[in-house]
């Protein structure tokens, strides 16, 4: 049993190293020096004159916060047999909702941050509801509907931030800065990006782990995803569980957007980073949709991103190297999964 678990993981690590090596060599960069730079970008070691552990961990923990939540968003939907491709759009509407609440005057200071975060989660959940309803009541495939809602979210938020919610004090398409009371504190005084949103993401992951694997609700959710017909025959409310999974998925993605606004950006703007919604797919698949393992896979993906961007900054190598490695890793995971299904019959 131990061998069957360790062998695929070691082979996956070799696949990552092999693909990364090929890409670095194809970019015309020295292999040993490049790996050293990637390691420095991911951990801060070996220390550089202008780049050390604080700079590395600032970037890694910031990305990890968002990838944990978007990874959970994808994972909880997959647990119920749904493939939510709409986390990017849900993140956008959640971020804009949090920015709007964060700019409101007259909100009691102790409630301003919780209300902004709750608004982001609620907006994400509401944005996920139409695809959930279309799936359970009309049989529409959630992949198609959530992709369509991504584009609606992109253009709707663009219109709102340029026409309705634009900061009157400037010409840029962005909202006014949120109030100080609506801001998340940074994890370290020297950090610029990593906030206490990471603690929220970790608590959410652990809570979702307990809910999915230690409650009747979680059992019914996973049974629905494993075999909806069998779950129906056993009396599980599959349509309700699928709807709940999609709403929870949207809420998690919306919360990621709210944390980015309250902890880092302090406003919403055109071009808000929504790519974390798509990266969450890789995080969820790498973790096998397990909430606790998502913490590890999100860290690994974040370290890879940070290392690749540092390599780009130091040598000019393409920053898309991290994306290609992620794609290769997903293909490997899919191959392992298909082989397992074939062996099990």
Per-residue pLDDT of 209-261, as tens digits, reads 999 999 999 999 999 999 999 999 999 999 999 999 999 999 999 999 999 99
Q: Across all residues in the chain, what is the average pLDDT?
A: 92
Per-residue model confidence (pLDDT) at position 274: 93
Average pLDDT over residues 261-266: 97
CB within 8 Å of 245: residues ≥ 6 apart: 76, 77, 79, 80, 82, 221, 224
Per-residue model confidence (pLDDT) at position 72: 98
Half-sphere exposure at residue 338, Cβ-oriented, CA atoms within 13 angstroms: 6
Share of the chain above pLDDT 90, in %: 81
32, pLDDT greater than 60: yes
The whole-angstrom separation of Cα 173 and Cα 123 is: 21
Asked whether the beta carbons of 178 and 261 are under 8 A apart, the reply is yes
> pLDDT of 282-312, one tens digit each?
899 888 899 999 999 999 999 999 999 999 9
The whole-angstrom separation of Cα 262 and Cα 21 is: 38
Per-residue model confidence (pLDDT) at position 240: 97
Per-residue model confidence (pLDDT) at position 2: 43
Task: Give pTM, 2 decimals.
Answer: 0.94
Intra-chain end-to-end CA distance of the chain, in Å: 19
Per-residue model confidence (pLDDT) at position 7: 67
Asked whether the beta carbons of 58 and 192 are under 8 A apart, the reply is yes
Distance of CA 344 to the CA centre of its chain: 31
Distance of CA 258 to the CA centre of its chain: 12
The whole-angstrom separation of Cα 122 and Cα 125 is: 5
Asked whether the beta carbons of 267 and 174 are under 8 A apart, the reply is yes
Per-residue model confidence (pLDDT) at position 345: 53
> pLDDT of 101-141, one tens digit each?
999 999 999 999 999 999 999 999 999 999 999 999 999 99
The whole-angstrom separation of Cα 340 and Cα 337 is: 5
Query: Structure tokens of 48?
Result: 């550089």
Grade residue 3 by pLDDT with cuts at 50, 70 and 90. Answer: low
CB within 8 Å of 329: residues ≥ 6 apart: 12, 15, 16, 282, 286
Per-residue model confidence (pLDDT) at position 9: 67
Residues 56, 199, 68, 125: what is their CA dihedral angle, to the nearest 10 degrees?
-140
Average pLDDT over residues 182-204: 96
Grade residue 1 by pLDDT with cuts at 50, 70 and 90. Answer: very low
5, pLDDT greater than 80: no
What are the angstrom distances between the C-alpha of 70 and each of 94, 145, 205, 335? 12, 18, 11, 23
Average pLDDT over residues 203-213: 97
Asked whether the beta carbons of 71 and 289 are under 8 A apart, the reply is no
């Amino acid at each position: 049993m131990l061998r069957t678990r360790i062998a695929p993981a070691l082979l996956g690590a070799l696949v990552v190293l092999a693909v990364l090596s090929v890409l670095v060599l194809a970019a015309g960069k020295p292999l040993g020096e490049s790996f050293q730079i990637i390691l420095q970008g991911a951990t801060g070691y070996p220390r550089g004159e202008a780049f050390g552990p604080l700079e590395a961990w600032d970037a890694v923990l910031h990305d990890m916060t968002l990838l944990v939540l978007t990874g959970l968003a994808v994972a909880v939907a997959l647990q119920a047999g749904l493939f939510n491709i709409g986390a990017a759009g849900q993140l956008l509407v959640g971020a804009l909702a949090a920015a709007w609440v964060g700019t409101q005057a007259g909100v009691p200071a102790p409630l301003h941050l919780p209300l902004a975060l709750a608004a982001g989660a609620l907006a994400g959940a509401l944005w996920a509801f139409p695809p959930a309803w279309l799936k359970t009541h009309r049989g529409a495939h959630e992949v198609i509907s959530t992709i369509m809602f991504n584009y609606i979210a992109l253009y709707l938020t663009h219109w709102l931030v340029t026409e309705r919610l634009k900061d009157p004090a400037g010409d840029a398409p962005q909202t006014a800065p949120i109030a100080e009371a609506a801001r998340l504190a940074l994890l370290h005084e020297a950090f610029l990006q990593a906030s206490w949103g990471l603690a929220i993401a970790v608590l959410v992951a652990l809570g979702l782990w307990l809910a999915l694997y230690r409650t009747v609700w979680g059992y019914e959710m996973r049974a629905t995803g494993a075999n909806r017909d069998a779950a129906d025959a056993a009396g599980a409310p599959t349509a309700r569980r699928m709807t709940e999974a999609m709403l929870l998925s949207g809420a998690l993605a919306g919360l990621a957007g709210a944390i980015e606004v309250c902890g880092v950006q302090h406003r919403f703007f055109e071009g808000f980073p929504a790519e974390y919604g798509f990266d969450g797919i890789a995080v969820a698949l790498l973790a096998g949709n397990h909430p606790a393992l998502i913490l590890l896979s999100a860290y690994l993906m974040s370290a890879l991103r940070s290392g690749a961007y540092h390599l780009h900054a130091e040598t000019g190598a393409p920053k898309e190297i991290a994306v290609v490695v992620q794609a290769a890793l997903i293909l490997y995971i899919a191959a392992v999964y298909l082989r397992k299904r074939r062996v099990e019959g």
